[in-house]
Amino acid sequence: MVSVQNTINMRDDDWRVELRGKLKAKDRSQIERVKMTEEDSGLRIRNNTEVNKGISLGEAMKEAQRCLDCANPACMEGCPVGIDIPRFIKNIERGNINEAIKVIKETNTFPAVCGRVCPQEVQCEAKCTYIKMKKEPVAIGYLERFAADYELENKLCFLPEINKRNNIKVAVIGSGPAGMSAASDLAKAGCKVTVFEALHDYGGVLRYGIPEFRLPKSIINTEIGNLKQMGVEFVKNFIVGKTATIDDLREEGYRAFFVGSGAGLPNFMNIPGENYNGVLSSNEYLTRVNLMSAGTPGFDTPVMRGKKVAVIGGGNTAMDSVRTARRMGAERAIIIYRRSLNEMPARIEEIKHAQEEGIEFLTLTNPIRYFADENGRVNRVLLQKMELGEPDSSGRRRPVVIPGSEYEIEIDLAVVSIGVSPNPILPQSMPDLSVSKWGTIQVNDETMQSNIDGIYAGGDIVRGGATVILAMGDGRKAAAAIDECLKMQAVEL
Ligand SMILES: Cc1cc2nc3c(=O)[nH]c(=O)nc-3n(C[C@H](O)[C@H](O)[C@H](O)COP(=O)(O)OP(=O)(O)OC[C@H]3O[C@@H](n4cnc5c(N)ncnc54)[C@H](O)[C@@H]3O)c2cc1C
Ligand code: SF4
């Protein structure tokens, strides 16, 4: 176990001056960015262990020296929850990791998750001053992960202080990142929080979508355990809207509701042959493997395996699916994506890791029809080539069909990963709830309150498929508004 050097006890400004004095900006900018050790690509396609291995205390302290502690830290503008990035990094530079983790946790409830899955390269790191200097940005994501892992490995577990318990019952619907962060802040505020989860285990996409090789389940288990220690109660196999309605829960005394039910409804392309055996959604594929342990010795959950697997799409979900297929024994695992690599929404790191693992990329290519053998099992896909035209409403160049470019390839499994829609069960159980034409719950941006008093919502059920950090930010915003509203009600009584 590494001991934390916690000897300097100065006011922030004092030690910042002292650190600046130790090393000039020019020297700091000459330090090379740390490289994270990764599991060998030949080995990792045969197992499920985490690919990124993290950085050591020494590497973290050296990387922290690169940070210039800018007077106007642009990195913070890129962080959706506004972490005080230079303050946590300078604490790492001093060797005061306890303080670093506390700084991060002022605004981010689950840094071990965010340090692994947040797209830092387009958020905080994209804004780092070093980018303007045409140098690699400070490895903010690696440092966040380091501090969070340090806390977990050393069992420091800084549980937040709980305000005086008020015993007001609040229901959180869905245990994904939105629900978990709302539950954490509501418990901190003293409420009696119950999280209702439709599935048989907690964590939402963090558990059933993102594979072990990117986000180990032990991290989610620890975070759920911490919430339980804070007094949050969890109820599984409970579908709000079916097992009981929100009105039923109101009758049981719940005074406010946070809906974080996510966007887990898969989209399909509606092309011929999509209902053959062996064509399935990434949600189904990943849920079987990640949540229901298909493919793990000792578990008998069935899952279709393929030797020639096509994954349709270019987002994180597509990358997770294709890399899972490789680990499940695919000899040829192919991404089929209608735009080019430059437009791919997946994280750059995921694309790089997929390439290292031998994943083929058929870009500027779109499937238009599946074919099957006499047993109805998919055996070929008809593809057409695309080129890029003018930008569309998303700002990305529109893919345009190249006439006469069709060709077939042999496959025995296709995983469709072209986006998701909001989970409809809860909104459908509440006819008065205001929803958009896409099925997302409409809320006030400041408070996350829906059109119905006492019902708040956030995360993917409001945004459509978005990101973990945005879901967490919504959960926290809603929790603050719920707390405020409950306090006002208490004054009025
Ligand atoms: C495979 C995959 C990989 C991804 N990779 C990344 C990544 O690398 N980085 C990133 O930032 N984002 C990533 N995302 C997106 C990110 O995971 C989501 O934006 C985020 O999980 C949304 O959080 P949420 O809490 O709103 O919903 P979810 O995580 O979907 O959780 C919702 C929960 O609500 C439950 N639920 C639904 N309806 C009910 C009901 N009626 N009653 C009770 N419970 C209910 C569901 O079972 C689920 O557990 C990925 C998504 C997928 C699918
Ligand atoms: S912008 Fe980069 S160098 Fe400046 S404070 Fe943020 S991380 Fe440090």
Residue range 422-470, pLDDT digits in tens: 999 999 999 999 999 999 999 999 999 999 999 999 999 999 999 999 9
**C-beta 317 within 6 A of ligand 2:** no
The pLDDT confidence band at residue 393, using thresholds 50, 70 and 90, is: confident
Report residue 16's pLDDT band, with 50, 70 and 90 as the boundaries: low
- Ligand 2 mean position, distance from CA 74 (Å): 7
For residues 67-89, average pLDDT = 95
DSSP code for 413: E
CB atoms within 10 A of CB 347: 19
**Cα 317 to ligand 1 centroid, rounded to whole Å:** 11
d(CA 19, CA 327): 46
The pLDDT value recorded for residue 4 is 36
Distances (CA, A) of 443 to 10, 245, 482, 483: 44, 20, 13, 17
- Mean pLDDT, residues 5-29: 64
Give the integer Cα–Cα distance in Å for 443 and 175. 20
Q: CA 412, CA 305: separation in Å to the nearest integer?
A: 8
**Across the chain, what does the average pLDDT equal?**
93
Residues 115-168 pLDDT 10s:
999 999 999 999 999 999 999 999 999 999 999 999 999 877 777 778 777 889
CA angle (469 as vertex; 468, 470 as ends), nearest 5: 95
| Closest listed ligand to the CA of 67 | 2
- Is residue 20 scored above 90 in pLDDT? no
Which atom of ligand 2 is the closest one to the Cα of 127? 1
Q: Measured in angstroms, how far is the CA atom of residue 73 from the centroid of ligand 2?
A: 5
pLDDT value of position 3: 35
pLDDT in the model for residue 10: 46
The pLDDT, as a whole number, for residue 2 is 34
Q: Are 468 and 452 in contact (CB under 8 A)?
A: no
Average pLDDT for 375-380: 98
**pLDDT 10s digits, 264-310:** 999 999 999 999 999 999 999 999 999 999 988 899 999 999 999 99
Sign of CA dihedral 243, 249, 252, 254: positive
Burial class (CB in 10 A: 0-12, 13-18, 19+), 393: exposed
Question: Percent of the chain beyond pLDDT 90?
Answer: 87
SS3 content of the chain, % helix, strand, coil (to 5): 40, 15, 45
Show the CA angle centred on residue 34, arms to residues 113 and 86, nearest 5°.
65
Beta partners for residue 367, in sequence order: 383
Q: How confident is the model at residue 201 (pLDDT cuts 50, 70, 90)?
A: very high
How buried is residue 74: exposed, middle or buried, by Cβ count under 10 Å (0-12/13-18/19+)?
A: middle
Average pLDDT over residues 376-405: 94
Q: Best substitution site from 468, 469, 472, 476 to test ligand 1's pocket, by max atoms within 8 Å of Cβ? A: 468
CA distance 275 to 378: 9
